[in-house]
Amino acid sequence: MLLRSTLAIAAALVLLVTGLYVWTRVSPRELRAEVEIDATPAQVWTVLADFPAYPEWNPFIISAVGEARVGAKLTNELSNDGGVMTFKPKVLTATPGEELRWIGRFGMPGIVDGEHYFLLQEIAGGRTRLVQGETFTGVLVPFVGGMLKVEDDFAEMNAALKARVEKMAG
C-alpha cells in the first residue's frame, strides 16, 4: 500500500511539472520595450554589440563579457532592484544590423529559461526601431513572475542606447 501511494504521488508530481512546463511553452511570459533611434541599424548594432563598453552607458546590463557570435557564451551582470545578478547565456542569433538573441537559464533547462532578443528594424529616414524583449518559459515561471518584471529596465536600457547611438552618429 505504501508503494502504491508513493508511486501515485510521484506520478502526480510528474504530471504537475510536465503540465506547468507545457503550459509555459504554449503561453510564455513575454516582455517587450521598443524605441526609435535616429541612426541606421548598422550604427545601432555597433553600440549594441560592443559588450566591453556596456559599463560606460548601460544601466541594466552593467557588464557583458563575450562575443556577439552564434554559439558564444556570455557572462552578463544585470542591475535590478538595487542588486546585481550574474548569468551566462548562450548566443542564438547574431546578425549585424538585424538581430541579437541569447538564451539564459536558471539551473537546468526547463526550470526558468529566458530567451532575450534585440530586433533592429530599419524605418523611414535612415532610422531604427529597436525592440528589446524576452520570452520566459519553464516550470517555475508561474511562481516567480514578479521577479521577471523588467520592462522598466528594458525601457531604461533602450533610452540609454538611443542616447549613446545618437550622440555617436550626430
The C-alpha angle 34, 67, 46, rounded to 5 degrees, equals 50
Rounded mean pLDDT of 76-82? 86
Q: Given this model, what pLDDT does residue 165 score?
A: 97
Higher pLDDT among residues 56 and 140, named by residue: 56
Residue 113 backbone dihedrals phi, psi, to 5 degrees = -115, 130
Q: Which one is predicted more confidently, 168 or 147?
A: 168
* 157, 61 Cβ separation under 8 angstroms: yes
Taking the model in full, what pTM does it have? 0.84
Q: Which of 54-68, 72-86, 134-148 has the highest mean pLDDT?
A: 54-68
Report whether pLDDT(152) > 60: yes
Q: How confident is the model at residue 27 (pLDDT cuts 50, 70, 90)?
A: low
* Encoded amino acid at 126, one letter: G
Q: How far is C-alpha 13 from the chain's CA centre?
A: 29
Domains and CATH numbers, the chain: 2-169 (3.30.530.20)
Cell representation of residue 85: 545578478
Mean pLDDT computed over 128-133: 97
